[in-house]
Amino acid sequence: MEVNRANGERSTWRERERERAREAILHAAADTFAESGYVKTSMKEIASHAGISVGMLYNYFKGKEEIYRELIEYYFTHLQEKATAACNPDDPPVDQILCRIRSAVEFYWENRSLAMMYVNENPMRLEYMVKGWEEKNRGVISGLLSSAIERGEIVDEDPVVLAALILGAIHRLVYVLVKEGNEKDLDTIPDIIHRIVLKPLECGGRPSANGEEGR
């Protein structure tokens, strides 16, 4: 019936509008968390940045923890999707790690508010929110390191410890890049991590993805 079709169209329109409003709130919240930090940010401040009333904000989210969780989920989901799309799983493991680092740095730069929101925080304070995502990310890197060890590309060290070391270095370098750097510095982070962390572990010259000997 025409009435049912009209009702359905109105319902779909309302859903689209609600989704657009949620996205606008999340963008405003990312900027607010980046500027003020999680603890100091209030729902009133987020509402002000979003240009809506506090009451309207509570129509979309129960509180700032729900907003932060949703932003963290977006952050890690899209970060991993970008790395997976950019990197060739047939490349040598160390090349895949460097590719993932480059993809991560590019993502951080493109989403600076999200990056600052995350790297500005004391990791112990919000561990319960990010622990699962960080463990998954660490698992990917440690798995690639294990493959590199098995292939004789790097010396036999604990891959979990090495993964934590690499991710910790990325975390601090990204903080400096996003807070003080500029886009031309993007390539320096993978190069620094390769030179300081991975290069000393290599077992002689290794073949790179293009078949040339590694430097």
Residue 214 lies in a domain: no
Q: Give 17-73 pLDDT, tens digit per residue.
A: 888 899 999 999 999 998 888 889 999 999 999 999 999 999 999 999 999 989 988
The separation between CA 116 and the C-alpha centre of its own chain, rounded to angstroms, equals 11
Q: Are residues 38 and 130 in the same domain?
A: no
HSE of 14, CA atoms in CB hemisphere, 13 A:
6
Cα(172)–Cα(169) distance, rounded to whole angstroms? Answer: 5
Domain end: 43, 61, 79, which one? 61
pLDDT at 214: 43
Q: Are residues 51 and 139 in the same domain?
A: no
Q: Are residues 38 and 120 in the same domain?
A: no
pLDDT at 142: 96
Its sign, for the CA torsion 140, 141, 146, 152, is positive
Cα(184)–Cα(27) distance, rounded to whole angstroms? Answer: 25
Residues of the chain scoring pLDDT < 70: 1-11, 122-126, 181-184, 204-215
* CATH number for the domain harbouring residue 9: 1.10.10.60
Residue span of the structural domain in which 74 resides? 65-205
Cα(101)–Cα(118) distance, rounded to whole angstroms? Answer: 17
Residue 13 lies in a domain: yes
The separation between CA 80 and the C-alpha centre of its own chain, rounded to angstroms, equals 7
pLDDT at 192: 86
Residue 207 pairs with which residues in a beta bridge?
213
Domain end: 33, 61, 89, which one? 61
Q: Are residues 40 and 24 in the same domain?
A: yes
The token pair that represents 182 in the structure block: 């500029």
Domain end: 41, 61, 81, which one? 61
Q: Are residues 118 and 38 in the same domain?
A: no
List Cα–Cα distances, 141 to 20, 106, 147, 154, 180, in angstroms: 35, 18, 10, 14, 27
Provide the number of structural domains found in the chain: 2
Find out whether 93 and 153 touch, Cβ atoms under 8 Å.
yes
The separation between CA 206 and the C-alpha centre of its own chain, rounded to angstroms, equals 29
Predicted TM-score (pTM) of the model is 0.75
pLDDT at 173: 80
* CATH number for the domain harbouring residue 198: 1.10.357.10
